[in-house]
Every structure is written in C-alpha cells, then in structure tokens.
Structure 1
Amino acid sequence: MNKTDTLNYLNKNIKSKTLHHAILFACPNQEILEEISNEFSRMIVCKNSSLEFDDCEWCIKASRNLSYNILNLGNGIEKIKKEEVSKLIKTFSSTNIENTIYKIYKIKNAENLSEVSANSLLKFLEEPPKNTLAILLTNDLNQVLQTIKSRCLSIVINGDQNEKFHKSDIEDFILNKEKENLLLYAREFKKIDKLDQIKNLESVFHRIILNSYPKLADIFLDSILELKNSSYTNLVIENLFISIYEAI
C-alpha cells in the first residue's frame, strides 16, 4: 500500500473499532514511516477519529508530542535494551495518566530489538492491557525477529515519496518493458517480507513468465526455490532482476 491508502485503511479500522492491538509498519523510507506513525497515533486519540487534523485537544497534543499516553521507544540507531522494555511495560501496566481511551507505545526500528529485549516484550505484545496499542516501525521486515512479527499485523508501505512503485509493479514493468524502472524497483523489492517476495514472484511466473518468457521460466523457479531455502535473499533478487532486464 502507499501512504494514502494506509492511512485510509487505518482510519476505517479506528472508526469500526477493529484495530489490531499491534501493527508493524515496514517501509524503506524512514520519513514516510514517521509520518504514518504520527498520523496514526493522532487519529487514534482524536476524539472525532478524524482522518485529517481537526484541531481537537488531542490532535494538538499528539502533533506536539505532549500526550503522556503516547510513549516512544528506541532512537532508530542503537539497540533497544531490556531495561527500556521493562520500563515501558511497567508504565503501561498502570492506569492511564491522561483521560484518553487508548495508550500507545511506538517502537522505532523494531529490528533494533535484541533477542533478550524482544523476549521481554513478547507476552506484553501478545496480551496487552485493555486499550493498549503497539506501533512498530522497520525499514526491513526481514530483519525483525520472527517472534515479534508473528504477534503483529504487518503492513508493507511503498517507500517512494511520489508513490510511484507498488509491490505489483514488477508485472507492469515486464509487460511495458520498463527496464530502468525494473532495476530501480529491485531495491524496493529487497525490503519486502520474504513471504511476500515469494508470493509476488509466483504470481508473476504464472501470469506472465510461463507463457510469454519461457526461457526465463527455469531461472524464475530456481530463484523462488532459493528464496524459500536461502538466507542470501538480496543476491538472489539481484541476479533474478538482471536476468529479467536482459530478457525483456
């Protein structure tokens, strides 16, 4: 999804009260991640659940980072320590400091959770106190511990500021023979979750490659198999995209 679609989707979930208690946002563009995180937090505490900033008291507090019920963890660079997680759990296990329905904690760059700190968070993430929401951010979904991912709803966001590329664009690039865009997209494709990479490639294989590019079929199948069984995903993707580039 792109930024606009993501915010619309989240707003509908807020209004229908069907929000997942833990959402992991993945995007290679840190600026877009921060914008979505901040807007999502604001919409949650907004007394009107407004998609747009509506000047209500809680929108103003959230936008100015003045709400005590929104807590940030991690600086995006250093490893997140077990002590920081323990402090978060203690704070959010108490009653609300402010008169808002939700308490929200945001973990910047969730890939910086060490195994020890992640283990400290797991039960709290899986069984949070009532009306407690977790927002986790990452630039690379593949680097986040599986134990964390399995407890979250993962949303992959298009990382281009102009919202030019989407997960399905590989198909369009092949059909339209957009070689340069295909190679540019390879960088974005590397940061998609491995399972989504595989599903995407399998779809492209059956829809296009098998009939229109039979010489690529074996390379495609070999690449999909390697992705399933290898940890060297970036190299596999680079080689596959080069092969597609040469074939189209």
Structure 2
Amino acid sequence: MNPLYLLNCRIFSRFTCPLREEEIKAVRAAYALRRADRYTALAAAAVLGRSGAPFPSAFASDTGLITVSAFGPHKTVFATLDDILDYPEDMILPVRFSHSVHNAAAAYLGSILKITGPAFAVTGFEAPLFEALQLAQTLLQAKMCPQVLLIGIEERGLLTAAAPALAPGRFAQEPEEIICALRLSASPAPGARELHLDRDAGTAPCLDACTLGLPLETIRELTEPDTNQPVVFRPSTPI
C-alpha cells in the first residue's frame, strides 16, 4: 500500500465550526477577490483565513492542487443559465460565466498561492473526496509534486435545498455546507497522520449529508486527532 500522510487539516462545517462570513469578507479584501463567486471565496478562506486549526499560508511552487465537490459552483452555474434565458447573448456577463467553470476556484487559488504544480478539479456524487485522495496519492507516488493541497467545497444553495425532493434516495435531507483543506504528502513528518484508502469496504450513506463523502465519525477523527491511529477513508460503495 502506498503511504499517504496528512500534514495539516482544517474542516469548517456545522459539525466542527462554520466558516464565518466576516472571515470570508476579510479574505476577499486581502487577496483581491472582489469579483470571485462565493464558492471560490470559501475555498480561499479555508486555506488563508485566520480561524480553524493551524495551516500554512505559503506553499512550494511545485505543490499539487486539487479542488473537489459534489455540486461544484452550482449557484454560479444556475445564475449564468438564468442570464442566458433572460438576456441576449451579447449581454451575458463574461465574468460570471468564467466563474461557472468547475476549475475556476483552482485557478484562483493557484494564482493567489503562486502554485504552478499540477492542478485538478474533481466532481462527483458517489465518493468525491475519496477519489480526490486517490488522485493526490497518484500524483505523490509518481513524484509529480512533493505535496498536495486538497480543498473540498460544498456550498449551500437552491439546488442543495431541492436535493431531497429531486433525489430522496440519495439525499435524506439537505446536504450540509462544508469546506475542508488538507495538506498531503507521501512522506511522514512530525505530527502527521497516516491516511488509509480502503477501496474495498463501502460505508452506508451519511444521513447527516456531507456530500463530500465525509461521515461524521471521520470528521471527528480528523479534527480531534489521535496520532497513534491512522484515519481510514472508504467510498460509499466498494470501488
């Protein structure tokens, strides 16, 4: 099994501590994110905000960068679609359209953090965070980068509010807003946690509805670490 180590971790949610709007506004102002949508601002604040567990604000230029989400920037996507329906083509806001692209947040973060390593945007409903961790592990084992900054973002909006009605079998209740930032490496370091990716053992869907695929038990393990035990990640169904 290829090793994967968690060097730093921040998780903002109802189950830990939410990311306050004041914090998001402060990061917007500090890093010239006035035009960025809230999805991008959430990702930036998870790394660069002052609240939460200690986290670096500077990274080696060859760091890998992965953003992951189930719904992606859905609020911006649907606002863009509304514009397409309501206005002539030449009146569509190009800035809003550019933010509706799923990898826009990764592009912003790469620019802010001066990261030029491999960058990916991962989306999916089954086990998005697990798949993003697998991608990070592959990048590290292939020596494409010395470390990976992985940021998970789920933003609440009209689509998440409608999710239980649209797909009751998948969403028993509205998905929670959650943002996490993980700094990962293939090499151990003082204070690092080992992560195990178990592809064969599926877990029951989390009814507390973290669509990143983070059960409450795993959130507690990550935010209240026991350094003697590795953290095991499992997909919702065996891969």
With a CA cutoff of 8 Å and minimum separation of 6, indicate the structure with the bigger relative contact order: 2
Q: Structure 1 length as normaliser, TM-score? A: 0.29
Structure whose residues are more often helix by fraction: 1
Q: Structure 2 length as normaliser, TM-score? A: 0.30
Structure whose residues are more often strand by fraction: 2
